[in-house]
Structure 1
């Protein structure tokens, strides 16, 4: 079954605050997809406020460096692709300044390889698929307990 994710880099302060309350973040993105034109702009501004811009060049370089020796990795026409045959798994990554779009199929191997590279850049990448109500941090944020 094909999976589609949008991945946002959430401001670290916001990410810390919403750790354990991920459904609230998800519903903001869900509301944006359902909103009428007049409220859509307000919700977009809220999403811009809580997210950080993605360094497209840095992420491109990290991906190219991480996978340069792999024969199952391709970078063509602004798309990063991993296509594994055993187990069958493929993922495509498209990087934009405000979010990343991923399409994957088969097992989770290929998408996990991309997630590993992103986790090393920041602990506050938040992935969501509004069509299936799936969402979560790529790297769970450790909660600091103050005594």
Structure 2
């Protein structure tokens, strides 16, 4: 089984790192692997959002389609259907999940997670096995009156 970690990133940093996923991945992996220097810890806390386990589980339970099931264990949650299953562990600032392939999480879990928070970053075992679970819209809620177009004609 493969292990993945999902981080809830604050909106402003999601916009900044959307096309710099490799930089975000390396930072998160360095933090995860114990390079928790004071600067890393403060930066990690600054760019991520806390995840309340009860809120996340309540949201999953409310929006999970009827053909997908959830079973709570001692320290994990199993989400499954007749083809796939994943196991989750919800931490303070991340969600760990285990599954055979990341596509199982796309079928079972990511659609519900997108409704909870739009800026989740998934980190797998390498930079090619990581990315955003939803596209980050770059021009969201821009006031057109603030934009200025210059022309020299």
The TM-score bracket by the shorter chain reads 0.7 to 0.9
Q: How many Å apart are 1:127 and its aligned residue?
A: 0.8
Question: What is the alpha-carbon distance in structure 2 between the residues aligned to residue 19 and residue 78 of structure 1?
Answer: 32
Q: Which residue of 1 aligns with 2:2?
A: 3
Task: Judge conservation of contact 1:5–1:102 (CA < 8 Å) in 2.
Answer: yes
Q: For the aligned residues, what is the CA RMSD?
A: 2.4
Q: Which has the higher strand share?
A: 1
Question: Aligned match of 1:103 in 95, 98, 105?
Answer: 98
The structure-2 alpha-carbon separation of the partners of 1:120 and 1:67, relative to structure 1 and needing over 3 Å to count, comes to closer
TM-score by length of 1: 0.80
Q: Which residue of 2 aligns with 1:124?
A: 119
Question: What is the alpha-carbon distance in structure 1 between the residues aligned to residue 9 and residue 77 of structure 2?
Answer: 22
Q: Which residue of 1 aligns with 2:135?
A: 140
Which of these two proteins has the greater Rg computed from alpha carbons? 2
TM-score by length of 2: 0.78
Q: Which residue of 1 aligns with 2:87?
A: 92
Task: Judge conservation of contact 2:68–2:79 (CA < 8 Å) in 1.
Answer: no
Unaligned residue ranges in structure 2 (runs of 5+): none
Unaligned residue ranges in structure 1 (runs of 5+): none
The structure-2 alpha-carbon separation of the partners of 1:43 and 1:107, relative to structure 1 and needing over 3 Å to count, comes to closer
Secondary structure of the residue aligned to 1:52 is coil
